[in-house]
Amino acid sequence: MVLYVGLGNPGPTYEKNRHNIGFRVIDRLVEETGAHALNSKISNSILFKSGNRIFLKPITYMNNSGESVFSVSTFYKISTQKIIVIHDDIDIPFGSIRFKIGGGHGGHNGLKSIDSFVGKEYARIRLGVGRPENKDEVTGYVLSNFTETEEFLLPGIIEKTVEAALRMPEMPIEMVKSKYTYALNG
């Protein structure tokens, strides 16, 4: 069993925010795989299943994502090494897709929460959303919507992410990096 976790915040207010790109990828993964919704007794989780894949959108709000990831991974007996977290990353340019296993949270509160509940050795798909000019504007920036141009480009970026995500469980991370790392401008 593989657990795919898309990070975001619940509700229509946050739907198009940069911080919610993980939710958008999960929605596309569900569509691509024909996954069906699970009537789960696990609270704070929206879950879908397709074969040996579980798709999770934590509805605990970003800062408490670890609670939901822990509950789902415990219930389904999924080890940390079989968890793939898809999230926004302000440290890489908009449109870039990068991959890694483990490492620090880089100030991302969703990752910080997951680290505290399940450890750090899960796979990560890092989706670049760019960075605000002023460090003090990070919260407002990630909670703002993508620009019209970015929205136009997102479907292609999400498609590349979906392709990589579905292949990740069967490939070593170095092969994933060499085949699927992507930058919009090169």
- Per-residue model confidence (pLDDT) at position 185: 73
Indicate the helix (H) or strand (E) that contains 36.
Answer: strand 36-37
- Per-residue model confidence (pLDDT) at position 186: 60
Angle at which helix 148-167 crosses helix 21-33, to 10 degrees, equals 50
Q: What is the pLDDT of residues 137-174, one digit of tens each?
A: 999 999 999 999 999 999 999 999 999 999 999 999 99
Which one of 19, 87, 105, 108 is the catalytic residue?
A: 19
Q: How far is CA 107 from CA 115, 134, 141, in A?
A: 12, 15, 14
Decide if 105 is catalytic. Answer: no
- Sheet strands side by side (includes 53-58): 36-37, 45-50, 53-58, 2-6, 83-89, 123-128, 97-101
User: How large is the average pLDDT for residues 42-67?
Assistant: 95
Domains defined along the chain, listed by start: 2-180 (3.40.50.1470)
Cα–Cα dist 34/55, whole Å: 11
Question: Which pTM does this prediction carry?
Answer: 0.96
